[in-house]
Structure 1
Amino acid sequence: MSLVDVEVYRELKSALRASLPEERLIDDPLRTLAYGTDASFYRLVPQLVVRPENEAELRVTLAECRARRLPVTFRAAGTSLSGQAVTDSVLIQLGRGWRGHQISDEGRTIRLQPGVIGARANQLLAPFGRKIGPDPASINSCMIGGIAANNASGMCCGTAQNSYRTLRDLRVILADGALLDTADPDSVAAFRRSHGALLAGLERLSAETRGNAELAERIRHKYRLKNTTGYALNSMVDFSDGIEILKHLMIGSEGTLGFISAITYETVVDESHKAAALAFFPDMATTCRATIALKRSPVSAVELMDRAALRSVEREAGMPEVLRTLPEGAAALLIDVRGNDAAELQARLDGVQATLEGIQTLEPVTFTHAADTYALYWKIRKGLFPAVGAVRETGTTVIIEDVAFPIERLDEGVLALTDIFHRHGYAQAILFGHALEGNLHFVFPQGFEKPGEVERYQALMDEVAQLVGVEYGGSLKAEHGTGRNMAPYVELEWGADAYALMWEIKALFDPENLLNPEVILSRNPTLHLENLKPLPAAHEIVDKCIECGFCEHVCPSKDLTLTPRQRIVITREVARLEALGNTADEVDAARLAALRADLGHAVDATCAVDGLCATQCPVGINTGDLVRDMRHRRLSRHAGMARRIGQHFDGVTRLARGSLRVAGAVNRLMGDTLMARAAQGARRLSGERLPLWTPALPMAAPVRVLRRSPESEGDRPRVVYLPSCATRMFGPDRRDDGESRSVMEITLALLERAGFAVVIPERVDGLCCGMAFRSKGQFDEADHKGRELNRELLVASENGRHPILCDTSPCTLQMQEHLDACLTLHEPVAFAHDHLLPRLALTPVDERIAVHVTCSSTHMGLADKFVALARACAREVVVPTEITCCGFAGDKGFTTPELNASALAGLAEQVAGCSAGYSNSRTCEIGLSEHGGIPYRSILALLDRASAAV
């Protein structure tokens, strides 16, 4: 890029400072690379990332870019597979300001802003028994903006329930800054006056299209299939009014015609009774015949998986053993059947079984009603694409092609396509897809570094395009959007007249070609072979990542610095630049230096290492392990200090309690306001090294309660109680008028009430599960403390004879992963739900309370038990949405308080009106109390209030 070009972007940033704060105008090398990466195999690095939080800021941004003729690209979640969300110019990224929603007509319609995650929309609609029509596999991560802009469909929606068909209204901002809300008559009237020429042009094109019988019929044929190649030309034959044409053209336009700032969907019924079966067939031809037969049956979805696809998941936990013994050439259908009640479901299941009679299967077709097995089948199916990526050769990428055949020619199309892949040397390709729509995905690993690989890929794509788009009259992009990798083939699929029509549409909306250029329409025949993403070896933990982005929505730092995917992106780029060594030029050397300078805060300090990313990753990548390993390598020189701290851990906890007493005394003298100012000033003077005092800082814990006189056990069952180091340090919240006892006091009282004899391990003051050391990268000392704790618990539990209760959930998870299997370990929720509830009489408190399901509880699968326990103890329970890990992460609430604040943004609004909140980690409760505006206590405190001895 020339100096003149660089200066233009500097001028743009300077101009935008008048309307947007500096922190939302991003041009440093680390974040532009991280924020500019999507799930495709293309890489372009934006010169400037802009984060407008409302329509006014967005319109200013568009105006300033247009004044300088700078292209812009809109980006939501970045799960795009075809390169729609990358640019080397200005990237407009959606943040928190675009997550609004409004439900109307008892859930029959829902208005959504583009930053709402698809699964969140369905969560909002669940109380009404409804959902949005589109259901892409990435629905837990992708956002409404991308779903609408790509016309993403998915497993069950087919062509009848996609965004195009379920669109009621939208609010759109055009390239010239014009705003149209099709639900507002005044806005429509004003737009007709100001943009009459645009609407007249659309109406003219519609009339010409409908008057061209051959073209009109081609369009109708193409949209009998799933089709996202090019613009939504069906709008030209479905509508004659300019507003309706404009509205529907926006669906699938991939940000090239305008920005959808809100969309109103007509929702669909979410049938509550569900069953699924994996049906196995001897060959692909039989599988396709079964699919065609099922098209006429009352099924919700039929997902096809070939033998290679099944092989990639056959060893996943819970999968049927038969998968490992299937013959070569076999295939499967995941058949999903739903109904509004049990009787309707059973009637439909009977119909499906009748349809399959006479079709050869390798095993009897058995439907499961079990929710966990049903969920497993769909999880496996949705994770096929990333799963293939996990087993690819390091340094290669994964490409997914998304085609649709006319359903009546599905079997011959599959065989022809498979033959092409084998002839071009892609024997590792797997096939799966939405068989009812003739929609198939081919996934295969692809390297571009070796000589001849780019040419091999081009030859493959040329032949696939000719076969699907021309010979079979199918769709080259059924649901993933055109993007960069299919833009050179749009004319081949559609023909010259339809292609010319698309260019006319683009010119009407964006005559300067500034909105996401080179996406959908391009005159560059090799566009799909340029700007290919490098995926160099970087670290064994993350080398299998394909940057799909499924992990991002649960990350506590997603709105602060980086997500797990973005941490991996940066790690890879650093590895790539370091590998250049002495061959690096000045630009690469400067880039590497800049990345290294920002790594500490963005990649390391703001990572909570909670591992929630692994729960969403189809191949279980825990980016926290990567960051811990980085810390280990960086801080290994401090191993001696860690050893001394571990050896004197009882003294460390005494010192911590003493510091809390001193802080409390000073706070009583100074008051909260003055204390906060003094603490913030001291932290600034220390270069952010001193921990930050917070008004939620608890009192010191009274460990004397653990000095108990031995009691006569009688016939009472014994339980070993291990108070964590956090509960041995942090006592009750001094501001909490409703609870003045420590977690230890509450736990002991509850165990006594339930009739347990309590055993406290010897030398409990010096015990630690090791997590405090492991999270800092001090693995040796973590292992040492773990072995020490293991010995003490073996003695206290009589070699595992008695259960062990730890009052802190994260510590329990750490122990479960590292201590002897003979030890029966429980955290508060599981122990209370399984062992205390049956031994207590409950009178639920007449209050509205909140619960926070900690990341460790999620890892242990305890979310449902958590909510069930709370509901057994209180009249109304609030579970805040989109609050995953709190970001306190042991001590980061003190050392990196901005992480805790960002992770809990919006919590106070969701828990307003609650008397208190409850969790199962004392440190998490500190941050939750600070940012929730209500006291948070141990879940055991709630059970204590609601229970009495039997």
Structure 2
Amino acid sequence: MSALIDALRQRLPAECVITDELRRLAYGTDGSFYRLIPEVVAVVNDEAEVCDVTRIARDHGRPVTFRAAGTSLCGQAVTDGVLVLLGEGLATCHIGAGGTTVQVGPAIVGAEVNRRLAPLGRKIGPDPASINAAKIGGIAANNSSGMCCGTAQNSYNTLAAIRVMLADGTLLDTGEAASVAAFKASHGGLLDSLGGLAARVRADHALASRIRAKYKIKNTTGYSLNALVDYTDPVDILAHLMIGSEGTLGFISRVTYHTVPEYAHKASALAFFPDMESACRAVVGLKQRPVDAVELLDRASLRCVADKPGMPPLLKTLPDGVTALLIETRAPSATELQARIASVLEELHTYPLIEAPAFTTNPAEIERLWNVRKGTFPAVGAVRKPGTTVIIEDVAVAVPLLAAACLDLQKLFAKHGYHEAIIFGHALEGNVHFVFTQDFGIESEVARYAAFMDELCTVLVEKYDASLKAEHGTGRNMAPFVELEWGSQAYGLMKEIKQLFDPAGLLNPGVIINDDPAAHLKHLKPMPAAGQLYAPVDRCIECGFCEPQCPSHGLTLSPRQRIVGWRELSRRQAAGEAPGQLGEDYLYMGLDTCATCGLCSTACPVGIETGALTRAVRGEQLSGVARSLGRVAANHFGATQALARTALKAGHLAEAIVGPKALARLSGGAWKEGMPKPQALRYDITRSSGDKVVYFPTCAGRMFGADTPEHALSATVIRVLERAGYAPIVPEGVNNLCCGQSFASKGLAEDADRKSAELEAALMKASNNGEYPVILDASACSLRMKTFLAERLKVYDLVEFAHDALLPRLMLHKKAEPVLVHLNCSARRMGFEAKLKQLASACADQVVLPAEVKCCGFGGDRGFVVPELNAHALRKLHADVPAGCCGGYSSNQTCEIGLTHATGLPYRSIVHLLDECSEEAARLATC
């Protein structure tokens, strides 16, 4: 192995060859219930690197697996060989004229492609539930579909061109004539073999008919044999065989999709039927009507979400057997939408219903209805026993057989003891998912699972000629059953295809083609309990949905990977094993570089905030000295801040002597160019009449000042409040007060809560027991106090109050130059994106909110302690800075320090923008 790693290090940058145990473990985990630990992880950023890494692995006889986002549910993205991780250099996107086509690299997230297409009213066809995390490479390699795309709009049927690299390193771009000509010259034998294979299939009418029949419904079991009957040109056959090949035939370097319309007008309804039979009969009728999605939910799935906030009250009182259909229809205009709604209702009223369904076009109501459907899978995951995993299976039958198949599934659940199982899915395509929990740590439980799978697959194939994998791909999970579904003749074709493309068998072996009948019972992922410090960790299903939100993902670990690492450390501790080097590495990768921003919880299906785990672990590992120092700082907070201001003043003196760049180097990046000066503690309130409002200047604003006292944050907030007719009140003893956030982030939970309680008492007094509104000028502190107070006292973030209360009172003159805004993690978690954008839009015609920048990674003081986290989190910011922009705005002072350093542009609180524009409006009004 050392020779292999040495060869990789000679080809790739050092940071792109990952050999440490912690990250190999982390990348040995995908969204499935399998785990394989790679020998090495190689991060690639272009085709040349992919080619060389594959060649090096081939030279050393090691298998290669390509990994995009790792949201795979069937074990496609794990290996014990060389794991080739797609880097950001492969996250390309080029939109064709009018948006009718889009050319995308394999490392770009599907939702990001749709975001870029949205202004043109277009989107890609595949719409998997994981689209906010899944990348194009995985979407194409698994032929993923989803709720609305059916079979007509999946990758196979919307493919315009594909660029692939074969096992020998040869490239073929089916969209470039020169590439096709060169490939025909160099690989004529392969193309002839594919052409001969297709001709042989078409000549066998029974086999050709069977293949066509199998793809009338969703099917991702095995290779895309429909390519052999749908196309005669061997290049087209090759292109479509690559779709759904799960990295076993080659590397998908680029995909060009025909896009599909994204209609702005939508309506949804939840219809309740007395039983599964009547609901499924309705699906048959609805398939002939103008519907875009019909999602089935059995009674068990409705029951498991009934108690969640925002769910329809009816869910709690429905009798047994009731089955729901969630229906959506879309149209290019409001008039057409109403016509489609009428058509759907006409069909529904021919079936027995619990109550008359009503369509809504209200976006909030539509979201509420879809939350019923989206909440089913995580609801099962959230209540499972520690140590168990969640399994989601995925089958399809002809729509007229759907009711009988679902009833048989329910019987199988009962027979094998999976009493918590639920059924839901894309009924319009006869495609249902079923979810249950499984313990793979007990031999008898593994045997129960094996018996269930054997009977399940036999019943579905022999009775329904079902697709055992409709849209999740074959993977390791269903590989032993491919021959059962397809028969020996078709399975033989698949083996021939694998041999043609990968004669050495080094591309993702064990996936799709696997002659081991027990392969699905091997390499099962352990799920040791890890919830002693933060119980919600045990709910993690390791799906990876959190990863695009995390500022440290790609630098060290993502939230999913932190939990994987922590689970292993917990297992070792329980077994009496030493943490070893993995434990040492976790200190930096797991703890030091976690921004504790909490954005992971906004994408997590089961609501886990991995930052809470980090804070708990930090607290557990604090020494007695550190705890004592924290207590002293909390007890003497005013003096502590005074010392910090003195240190900041000393830093500016040092900067004047050695220069900002030298000081940044000497401080390990802690000192930032453009660092604010220390704040003079003055709160000059000039207005006593008007509506009273309590203003709490938070710690960072009291620490960091501006070039002149009047431009300090507190002075600006007071000035804008007074200009809007408010009479601000600053709490007594403000300089000794703190919300506790800075203590909480370091694991000092008791000190944090004590400071929060002190602030609560001061705010209660200043607000006359809540009579006056209370404003905090930093979103992180606002979120902390909103959570701590739990509505005992209503507090407002400055963004929130400025939007709701100040905008109607202020005259504003818009700036000519574009305005750059940053939605920090706390404001994002509080749902203030629209309010921040509206504030900025009231002050400028051009407002830019960089879509690919989430948390800035400054994390309170992380930007000083581990500046590489801040730099990594903001690496995509520069591309979105508009020409002529003079500065940016946010609502957290430390975030603004990091943003200023990253861009070279001054970032300040959004209140400064309101101040400038309202002052200019007042000046113009007097001219």
TM-score by length of 1: 0.95
1:747 counterpart residue number: 717
2:895 to 914, 924, 928: 924
2:823 counterpart residue number: 853
1:204 counterpart residue number: 196
2:905 counterpart residue number: 934
Taking the aligned partners of 1:779 and 1:183, their CA distance within structure 2 comes to: 58
Q: CA deviation at 1:932?
A: 2.3
Q: What is the identity, as a one-letter code, of the residue corresponding to 2:627?
A: A
Deviations 1:739-770 (A, max 9, x none): 98111121111111111111111111111000
Taking the aligned partners of 1:307 and 1:779, their CA distance within structure 2 comes to: 42
Q: What is the identity, as a one-letter code, of the residue corresponding to 1:515?
A: L
1:130 counterpart residue number: 122
- What secondary structure is seen at the aligned counterpart in 2 of 1:558? coil
Q: CA deviation at 1:465?
A: 1.2
Deviations 1:855-912 (A, max 9, x none): 1111111111111111111110111122111110111110011111111112112114
1:698 aligns with 2:708: no
Q: What is the identity, as a one-letter code, of the residue corresponding to 1:908?
A: H
Note if contact 1:803-1:823 (Cα within 8 Å) is conserved in structure 2: no
2:276 counterpart residue number: 284
1:628 aligns with 2:598: no
Taking the aligned partners of 2:751 and 2:32, their CA distance within structure 1 comes to: 41
Taking the aligned partners of 2:730 and 2:769, their CA distance within structure 1 comes to: 15
1:811 counterpart residue number: 781
Note if contact 1:722-1:761 (Cα within 8 Å) is conserved in structure 2: yes
List aligned pairs for 1:231-246, cutoff 5 A: 231-246=223-238
1:720 counterpart residue number: 694
Deviations 1:806-834 (A, max 9, x none): 11111011011113634221112111111
Q: CA deviation at 1:772?
A: 0.5
Taking the aligned partners of 1:111 and 1:636, their CA distance within structure 2 comes to: 54
- What secondary structure is seen at the aligned counterpart in 2 of 1:254? coil
Deviations 1:631-690 (A, max 9, x none): 11111623322121112111122222222222222212332233333334xxxxxxxxxx
Note if contact 1:697-1:733 (Cα within 8 Å) is conserved in structure 2: no
1:362 aligns with 2:354: yes
1:5 counterpart residue number: none
1:549 counterpart residue number: 544
2:850 counterpart residue number: 880
Taking the aligned partners of 1:76 and 1:558, their CA distance within structure 2 comes to: 13
Instruction: Go from structure 1 to structure 2 and tell me whether the alpha carbon gap of 1:942 and 1:747 turns closer, same or farther (over 3 Å shift).
Output: same
Q: What is the identity, as a one-letter code, of the residue corresponding to 1:927?
A: G
1:395 aligns with 2:387: yes
Taking the aligned partners of 2:101 and 2:253, their CA distance within structure 1 comes to: 17
Q: CA deviation at 1:523?
A: 0.8
1:3 counterpart residue number: none
1:222 aligns with 2:214: yes
- What secondary structure is seen at the aligned counterpart in 1 of 2:695? strand
Deviations 1:534-574 (A, max 9, x none): 11111122011111111111011101111111111111111
Note if contact 1:556-1:608 (Cα within 8 Å) is conserved in structure 2: yes
1:501 aligns with 2:493: yes
Deviations 1:440-498 (A, max 9, x none): 11111111233422222112111111222232111000000000010001011111111
2:627 counterpart residue number: 639
1:562 counterpart residue number: 557
List aligned pairs for 1:312-711, cutoff 5 A: 312-539=304-531, 540-581=535-576, 592-635=579-622, 637=624, 638-680=626-668, 692-704=670-682, 706-708=683-685, 711=687
What value does the CA root-mean-square deviation take over the aligned residues? Answer: 1.5
1:685 counterpart residue number: none
Instruction: Go from structure 1 to structure 2 and tell me whether the alpha carbon gap of 1:50 and 1:726 turns closer, same or farther (over 3 Å shift).
Output: same
Note if contact 1:99-1:116 (Cα within 8 Å) is conserved in structure 2: yes
Note if contact 1:908-1:933 (Cα within 8 Å) is conserved in structure 2: no
Note if contact 1:628-1:777 (Cα within 8 Å) is conserved in structure 2: yes
Taking the aligned partners of 1:619 and 1:838, their CA distance within structure 2 comes to: 39
1:20 aligns with 2:12: yes
Q: Aligned pairs, how many?
A: 916
- What secondary structure is seen at the aligned counterpart in 2 of 1:513? coil
Note if contact 2:133-2:548 (Cα within 8 Å) is conserved in structure 1: yes
Deviations 1:72-127 (A, max 9, x none): 00111111000001111111111221211100111111111111111111100000
Taking the aligned partners of 2:397 and 2:423, their CA distance within structure 1 comes to: 14
Taking the aligned partners of 2:640 and 2:360, their CA distance within structure 1 comes to: 54
Instruction: Go from structure 1 to structure 2 and tell me whether the alpha carbon gap of 1:822 and 1:460 turns closer, same or farther (over 3 Å shift).
Output: closer
Taking the aligned partners of 2:457 and 2:681, their CA distance within structure 1 comes to: 72
- What secondary structure is seen at the aligned counterpart in 2 of 1:945? helix
- What secondary structure is seen at the aligned counterpart in 1 of 2:725? coil
- What secondary structure is seen at the aligned counterpart in 1 of 2:164? strand
Instruction: Go from structure 1 to structure 2 and tell me whether the alpha carbon gap of 1:733 and 1:518 turns closer, same or farther (over 3 Å shift).
Output: farther
Note if contact 1:138-1:382 (Cα within 8 Å) is conserved in structure 2: no
Q: What is the identity, as a one-letter code, of the residue corresponding to 2:419?
A: A
TM-score by length of 2: 0.97
1:732 counterpart residue number: 706
Taking the aligned partners of 2:890 and 2:26, their CA distance within structure 1 comes to: 33
Q: CA deviation at 1:281?
A: 1.1
Note if contact 1:790-1:819 (Cα within 8 Å) is conserved in structure 2: yes
Q: CA deviation at 1:730?
A: 0.9
Identical pairs, percent: 53
Q: CA deviation at 1:209?
A: 0.7
Note if contact 1:696-1:733 (Cα within 8 Å) is conserved in structure 2: no
Q: What is the identity, as a one-letter code, of the residue corresponding to 1:647?
A: N
Q: What is the identity, as a one-letter code, of the residue corresponding to 1:701?
A: Q
Taking the aligned partners of 2:247 and 2:618, their CA distance within structure 1 comes to: 40
Note if contact 1:386-1:548 (Cα within 8 Å) is conserved in structure 2: no
Taking the aligned partners of 1:907 and 1:633, their CA distance within structure 2 comes to: 35
Deviations 1:165-187 (A, max 9, x none): 00001111111011111111111
1:185 to 168, 171, 177: 177
- What secondary structure is seen at the aligned counterpart in 2 of 1:596? helix
Taking the aligned partners of 2:3 and 2:895, their CA distance within structure 1 comes to: 44
Note if contact 1:722-1:764 (Cα within 8 Å) is conserved in structure 2: yes
Taking the aligned partners of 1:356 and 1:502, their CA distance within structure 2 comes to: 43
Q: CA deviation at 1:707?
A: 4.8
1:106 aligns with 2:98: yes
Note if contact 1:790-1:820 (Cα within 8 Å) is conserved in structure 2: no
1:46 counterpart residue number: 38
Deviations 1:170-217 (A, max 9, x none): 111111011111111111111111111111111110111111101100
Taking the aligned partners of 2:789 and 2:410, their CA distance within structure 1 comes to: 49
Note if contact 1:433-1:440 (Cα within 8 Å) is conserved in structure 2: yes
In structure 2, list runs of 5 or more residues that go unmatched.
none
Taking the aligned partners of 1:756 and 1:99, their CA distance within structure 2 comes to: 49
Q: What is the identity, as a one-letter code, of the residue corresponding to 2:470?
A: A
1:829 counterpart residue number: 799
- What secondary structure is seen at the aligned counterpart in 2 of 1:85? coil
- What secondary structure is seen at the aligned counterpart in 2 of 1:17? helix
Taking the aligned partners of 2:605 and 2:598, their CA distance within structure 1 comes to: 13
1:780 to 712, 728, 750: 750
Q: CA deviation at 1:933?
A: 3.0
Taking the aligned partners of 1:470 and 1:188, their CA distance within structure 2 comes to: 42
- After superposing the two structures, state which structure 1 stretch, 148-157 or 274-283, moved more: 274-283
1:75 counterpart residue number: 67
- What secondary structure is seen at the aligned counterpart in 1 of 2:818? strand
Taking the aligned partners of 1:902 and 1:384, their CA distance within structure 2 comes to: 35
Note if contact 2:685-2:728 (Cα within 8 Å) is conserved in structure 1: no
1:895 aligns with 2:865: yes
Q: What is the identity, as a one-letter code, of the residue corresponding to 1:558?
A: H
1:760 to 730, 734, 742: 730
Taking the aligned partners of 2:748 and 2:659, their CA distance within structure 1 comes to: 38
1:793 counterpart residue number: 763
